[in-house]
């Protein structure tokens, strides 16, 4: 649009109202010469005198605004209002008592706990290593009078890890442990064990013993099977291709007809058409790249194998089925269970008009 306007400045003259989708993405999230991302800093000047309506169905979470010296945690709307003075903000709460509810399809969320004592033991050790590393980071910051950079907030350590004046060893260890924990929760055991081969972790884990005791099939995949056999059409979301493959293999051997969509899938439209129209196709398994921008209202249930902390992203995933039931799998007694509980609280608080939380389901058979 900016390029078209530069070629023909009269292009926008016939328009009185301009709709801006995903308006929250206009605001820069880090320090710089401008607060508005390119090319909106100049394009907005060209729209003076017109009605501007910015829309966002899913505002981002409280976000980090970086300056040269520190990070500030802000609410999304506060940042938008700061850079658009005089703007009126209308939220879904303002539309209550209207006919808006006639157009909403509620999504029901529930958490299903997966019991695996071996995963629980591994996660507790990793949690402790993360806490110890964070304490080492705080100590190193305190030695050089840099504690003000994080202000005692653990979120700031995570957000600013690459900018903090600490050793590269600490940065790498902290980031690596966070990723390792995610792998443990989201990958089949035999696959995530490959990440344990380093000098630091060998002091805390016996990889040879773990290889003997951990199962080949993830307990979460077993739970996916138990859920999928109860429904005619299920969608399964998982972050890693290794889990996509294992879910497909286990469910197919159980007699279910399974399709997959990943970033490597060439004709996503054809796969979706088969899932929607073929009554004999039971399950669609998707990776994050594969499921982007896809809607599957035909699914009776969505099974989410692993989650991230960002409520906006997770809410967008949940709404792929345009209502219905979403089941989130978590390992019981782990930090994943606590993380997902916090995630559910944020989503229900932020999107109460379209989501509802059902009682947690416990899986005692894994």
Q: Work out how many domains the chain is built from and give that number.
A: 3
297-340 pLDDT, tens digit each: 888 999 999 998 888 888 888 888 878 899 999 999 999 999 99
Domain edge (last residue) among 213, 241, 258: 213
Residues 161 and 194 in one domain: yes
174 and 73 both lie in a single domain: no
Name the residue range of residue 186's domain. Answer: 117-213
- Together in a domain, 28 and 126: no
Angle, helix 311-318 to helix 335-350, in steps of 10 degrees: 80
Same domain, yes or no, for 183 and 148? yes
Who wins on pLDDT, 317 or 365? 317
Looking at 152, 186, 213, which one is the last position of a domain?
213
Tell whether 181 is covered by a domain. yes
The pLDDT value given to residue 312: 81
Q: Long-range contact list for 175-181, CB < 8 A, 24+ apart?
A: 177/126, 177/129, 177/130, 177/133, 178/130, 180/126, 181/123, 181/126, 181/127, 181/130, 181/335
CB of 148 closer than 8 Å to CB of 108:
no
Same domain, 153 and 230: no
Average pLDDT of the segment spanning 83-95: 79
Pairing of strands 63-66, 71-74: antiparallel
Confidence of residue 293 (pLDDT cuts 50, 70, 90): low
pTM of the predicted structure, to 2 decimals = 0.82
Q: Would 290 be classed as within a structural domain?
A: yes
In whole angstroms, give the CA distance from residue 140 to residue 30.
25
35's CB contacts (< 8 A; 6+ apart) are: 27, 28, 41, 82, 83
In tens, the pLDDT along 30-77 reads 555 556 788 887 788 788 888 888 887 766 655 555 555 555 666 667
CA atoms of 202 and 245, how far apart (whole Å): 29
User: How many whole angstroms separate alpha carbon 259 and alpha carbon 299?
Assistant: 13
151's torsion region: left (phi>0), alpha (psi -120 to 50) or beta? left
Each residue's pLDDT tens digit, 205-244: 999 999 999 999 999 999 999 999 999 999 999 999 999 9
């Amino acid at each position: 649009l900016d390029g078209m306007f530069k070629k023909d400045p009269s292009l926008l003259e016939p328009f009185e109202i301009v709709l801006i989708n995903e308006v929250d993405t206009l605001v820069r999230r880090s320090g710089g010469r401008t607060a508005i991302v390119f090319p909106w800093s100049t394009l907005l000047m060209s729209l003076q005198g017109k009605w501007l309506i910015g829309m966002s169905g899913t505002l981002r979470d409280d976000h980090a605004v970086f300056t040269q010296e520190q990070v500030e945690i802000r609410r999304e709307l506060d940042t938008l209002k700061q850079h658009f003075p005089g703007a009126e903000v209308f939220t879904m709460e303002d539309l209550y008592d209207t006919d808006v509810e006639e157009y909403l399809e509620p999504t029901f969320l529930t958490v299903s706990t997966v019991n695996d004592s071996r995963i629980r033991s591994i996660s507790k050790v990793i949690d402790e290593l993360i806490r110890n590393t964070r304490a080492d980071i705080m100590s190193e910051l305190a030695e050089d009078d840099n504690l003000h950079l994080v202000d005692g907030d653990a979120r700031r350590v995570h957000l600013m890890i690459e900018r903090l004046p600490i050793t590269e060893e600490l940065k790498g260890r902290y980031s690596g442990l966070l990723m390792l924990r995610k792998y443990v929760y989201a990958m089949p055991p035999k696959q995530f064990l490959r990440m344990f081969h380093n000098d630091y972790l060998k002091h805390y884990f016996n990889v040879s013993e773990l290889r003997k005791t951990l199962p080949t099939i993830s307990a979460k995949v077993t739970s996916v099977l138990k859920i999928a056999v109860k429904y005619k059409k299920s969608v399964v979301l998982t972050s890693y291709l290794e889990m996509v493959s294992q879910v497909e293999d286990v469910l197919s051997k159980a007699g279910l007809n399974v399709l997959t969509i990943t970033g490597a899938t060439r004709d996503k439209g054809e796969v979706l058409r088969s899932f929607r129209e073929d009554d004999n196709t039971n399950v669609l398994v998707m990776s994050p790249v594969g499921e982007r921008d896809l809607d599957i209202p035909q699914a009776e249930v969505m099974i989410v194998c692993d989650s991230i902390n960002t409520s906006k992203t997770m809410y967008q995933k949940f709404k792929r089925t345009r209502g219905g039931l979403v089941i989130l799998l978590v390992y019981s007694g782990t930090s994943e269970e606590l993380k997902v509980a916090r995630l559910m609280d944020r989503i229900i608080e932020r999107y109460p008009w379209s989501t509802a939380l059902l009682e947690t389901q416990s899986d005692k058979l894994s």
